[in-house]
């Protein structure tokens, strides 16, 4: 495989151009309302980080468990995991805007004695250092995993890698999501976000692998399709279980340090997003995936996978947006999503084909 820049198809070029325009529009909006736009940007960035990072996690899990499902998804996972460097660069606006975006870093917060006990962790220099370390480790893991795939060393690397992965994802989850609401803390949040990222990556990879454009589609047997559906099922259930247990634990205790996060989500119009997630991100996919017939049909499986991937937009919005700005939604939300998304696909097709050839 050449180590040059991958070839960019025409569609990808157009998407990237649109993305760039959208990001410029974000920047212009940001001159007017920097905090609102940075929040949109963080939301969009987290959404697109998920398939890139989750792919690394899935590649490692597959190196340990084996199974056809991973071979089927590997080219897509491979290409998605190569987006990590881009995501690292795109984190820069968040790092530059720490003081604007995060409530604990602003000028007001400096005088708040209630935050003193948390400052050992929540301070801007340490925040930036952690981001650099975390991304350094992820890039190293992604590279190491891509190199070792299908070698005897893969299993060992993946086992140790997953330990690192779990720890770094948790640090990232606390920094980029939990710290948006200082004083709120949840011990499960790291693995909850990590599971959502795996789900996002798996959904995207299943959709790409199964949808008709795949040159290897003659390879699809009912059993293989079934396995991919089962992977989605496991991840949907794991995500739903963790999210519900978090909610139930908070509900049962009703402690201020925990409800501070849920109140803007369940006592405002955002509750409809919660209901949507419950019905269409959990109940509906569960019902469809329960059916063996649905799982074994290319169109159903691909459609459901794409649906799950898109529904993650709702989940990331639920995690990031409620309660932090005056208006629930802003124009900068879709613009940032399109902006980062446009750049995300740059060179994806060529990298996936390269990975397919290696496998063939």
Partner 1 sequence: MSAPPISLRETNASITDRVSDITLERPTGRLWMCAFALSFVLTAWLGAGIVWLLARGVGIWGLDIPVAWSFAIADYVWWIAIGMAGTFISGGLYLARQGWRNALNRYAEAMTVFAVSVSGIFPILHLGRPWFFYWLAPYPDRMGVWPQWRSSLFWDFSAIVAYLIVSVLYFYIGLIPDLASLRDRARTRGKQVFYGLLAIGWRGEARHWQRFETLNLLLAAMAVPLVFSVHSMVALDFSEGLLPGWHSTIFPPFFVAGALFSGFGMVLVLGIPLRRFFGLGDFITDRHIANLAKLMLAAGLFVDYSYASELFNAFYSGDRYEIAHAMQELTGAYAWVYWTIIGCNVVAIQAIWFERVRHSHAALFVIALLVLAGMWFERFLLIVSSLYHDFLPSSWGMFYPTFWDIAFLAGSIGLFFLLFLLFVRLLPLLPMFELRKLRARLDREAA
Residues that bind partner 1 (CB under 8 A): 115-118, 120-121, 159, 163, 166-167, 170, 174, 183, 185-191, 241-242, 245-246, 248-250, 252-253, 255, 257-258
**In the bound complex, what is the minimum distance in angstroms from residue 182's beta carbon to partner 1?**
9
Whole-angstrom distance, CA of residue 157 vs CA of residue 145: 7
Query: Which residue, 51 or 190, has its beta carbon nearer to partner 1?
Result: 190
- Closest contact distance (angstroms) between CB of 66 and partner 1 is 10
Integer Cα distance of 170 and 189 in angstroms: 7
Q: Tell me 177's DSSP state.
A: T
Instruction: Output 257 or 291, the one with its CB closest to partner 1.
Output: 257
CA atoms of 223 and 216, how far apart (whole Å): 15
Placement of tokens 């220099």 in the chain:
125
The least CB distance from residue 335 to partner 1, in Å, is 33
Nearest C-alpha neighbor of 16 from the set 359, 280, 356, 346: 346
Q: How far is CA 113 from the centre of its chain?
A: 34
Query: Phi-psi bin for 355: left (phi > 0), alpha (psi -120 to 50), beta?
Result: alpha
Q: Cα separation of 57 and 244, whole Å?
A: 23
CA-nearest of 248, 247, 252, 283 to 265 is: 247
Token pair in block for residue 277:
């997630």
Task: Decide if 264 contacts 270 (C-beta within 8 A).
Answer: yes
Maximum C-alpha span of the chain: 64
Identify the CA nearest to 216 among candidates 79, 78, 359. 359
Minimum distance from residue 322 beta carbon to partner 1 (Å): 18
Radius of gyration from C-alpha coordinates of the chain: 20
Instruction: Output the smallest distance, CB 239 to partner 1, in A.
Output: 12
Rounded least distance, CB 250 to partner 1, Å: 7
Can you read off the two tokens belonging to residue 228? 């991919």
Q: Which lies closer to partner 1 via its Cβ, residue 173 or residue 305?
A: 173
For the bound state, the minimum distance from the C-beta of residue 319 to partner 1, rounded and expressed in Å, comes to 14
Q: How far is the CB of 284 from partner 1 (least distance, A)?
A: 19
Q: Pick between residue 202 and residue 346 the one whose CB is nearest to partner 1.
A: 202
């Amino acid at each position: 495989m050449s180590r040059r820049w991958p070839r960019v198809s025409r569609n990808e070029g157009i998407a990237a151009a649109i993305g760039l325009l959208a990001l410029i529009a974000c920047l212009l909006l940001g001159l007017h309302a920097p905090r609102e736009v940075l929040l949109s940007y963080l939301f969009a960035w987290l959404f697109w980080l998920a398939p890139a990072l989750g792919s690394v996690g899935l590649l490692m899990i597959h190196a340990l468990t084996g199974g056809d499902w991973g071979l089927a998804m590997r080219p897509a996972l491979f290409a998605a995991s190569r987006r990590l460097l881009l995501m690292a660069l795109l984190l820069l606006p968040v790092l530059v805007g720490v003081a604007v975006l995060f409530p604990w870093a602003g000028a007001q917060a400096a005088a708040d004695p209630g935050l003193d006990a948390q400052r050992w962790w929540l301070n801007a220099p340490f925040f930036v250092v952690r981001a650099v370390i975390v991304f350094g480790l992820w890039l190293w893991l992604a590279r190491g995993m891509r190199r070792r795939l299908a070698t005897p060393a893969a299993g060992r690397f993946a086992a140790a890698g997953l330990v690192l992965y779990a720890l770094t994802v948790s640090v990232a989850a606390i920094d980029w999501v939990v710290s948006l609401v200082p004083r709120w803390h949840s011990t499960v949040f790291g693995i909850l976000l990590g599971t959502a990222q795996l789900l996002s990556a798996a959904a995207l990879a299943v959709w790409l692998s199964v949808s008709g454009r795949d040159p290897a589609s003659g390879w699809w047997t009912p059993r293989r399709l079934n396995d991919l559906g089962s992977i989605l099922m496991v991840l949907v259930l794991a995500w739903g279980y963790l999210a519900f247990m978090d909610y139930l634990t908070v509900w049962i205790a009703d402690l201020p340090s925990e409800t501070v996060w849920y109140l803007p989500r369940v006592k405002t119009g955002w509750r409809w997003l919660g209901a949507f997630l419950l019905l269409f991100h959990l109940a509906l996919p569960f019902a469809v995936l329960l059916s063996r017939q649905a799982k074994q049909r290319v169109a159903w499986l691909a459609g459901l996978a794409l649906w799950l991937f898109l529904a993650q937009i709702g989940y990331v919005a639920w995690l990031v947006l409620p309660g932090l700005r005056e208006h629930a939604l802003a124009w900068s939300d879709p613009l940032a999503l399109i902006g980062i998304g446009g750049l995300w696909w740059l060179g994806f097709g060529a990298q996936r084909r390269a990975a397919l050839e290696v496998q063939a």
